[in-house]
Amino acid sequence: SSGINAEYGEHFQLSISKMKLTQVALIVACVSLTHGEILATLRGDIEELAEKFTSVFNDTSGVIEELQKTIGGIVASLDEIKVAQAQKDMDLAWQSLHMAAAAACRGSTPEGGKGPWSNSVIPKENNKKCIDQCKRNKDRKVCKAEVALTGYPGKATSYTQKVGYFYNYECDGGWNGDINHNEVAAEEGTILETGKTAYYRFCCCAKP
């Protein structure tokens, strides 16, 4: 009887052990399956994110290119505006000089140039005489005077400040050897240069 009980006990313990192994195997299988599902889910999420990123990147890439093109156009327009403004500044400076020269010619010829015809102002050429230059004009061939003038940029700040200088010459004199005194030969931008005094010279011509 005791032998049968011992055998039965061993058989029972073996059955318990097999059941435990089976449970462990099932648990491992479940865990493995769970991990596999998680990995599969993660893989799917990653692929979906990659597709969305690619889509957004492609869309953004087009927007960036368009934005860069627009900015490039704006920069080019600003450069054109700067060039145009610089040209306007020089044109206005030369016009101011011409008006000053016309005023200087008027003040130098109080007794001449009367009548229905206007008088003209022309730039003086280096090493030439105004009496000869006026003769080359089509109608206003008579020289009345030669003037040389210069002025300084900026607003005057006192009533004794020198804002410009001038000279009056006879029509058959006044040699100007310095190219900076010759508007035609000077560089266009020299009219805006500061720190250098240039006496631009002009001939005052009238109709006979």
Tens of pLDDT along 146-180? Answer: 999 988 888 899 999 999 998 888 898 766 677 77
Q: What is the DSSP string of 154-195?
A: S---STT---EEEEEE-TT------GGG-TTTS-GGGGG--S
Closest CA to 198 of 126, 150, 148: 150
Distance CA 172, CA 169 (A): 8
- Whether the per-residue pLDDT at 4 is higher than 50: the answer is no
Query: What count of other Cβ atoms lies within 10 Å of the Cβ of residue 61?
Result: 10
Q: How many angstroms separate the most distant Cα atoms in the chain? A: 163
Calpha distance 82→85 (Å, rounded): 5
149 compared with 3, residue with greater pLDDT: 149
Residue in 201, 136, 194, 191 with CA at minimum distance from that of residue 168: 201
Provide the strand spans (E) within the chain.
Answer: 120-123, 142-151, 164-169, 200-206
Entry pTM: 0.63
| Percent composition of the chain: helix, strand, coil (DSSP 3-state, to 5) | 60, 15, 30
Model pLDDT for residues 75-94, shown as the tens digit of each residue: 888 888 888 888 898 999 99
Percent of residues, the chain, with pLDDT higher than 90: 25
Residue 3 CB contacts under 8 Å (≥ 6 apart), including other chains? none
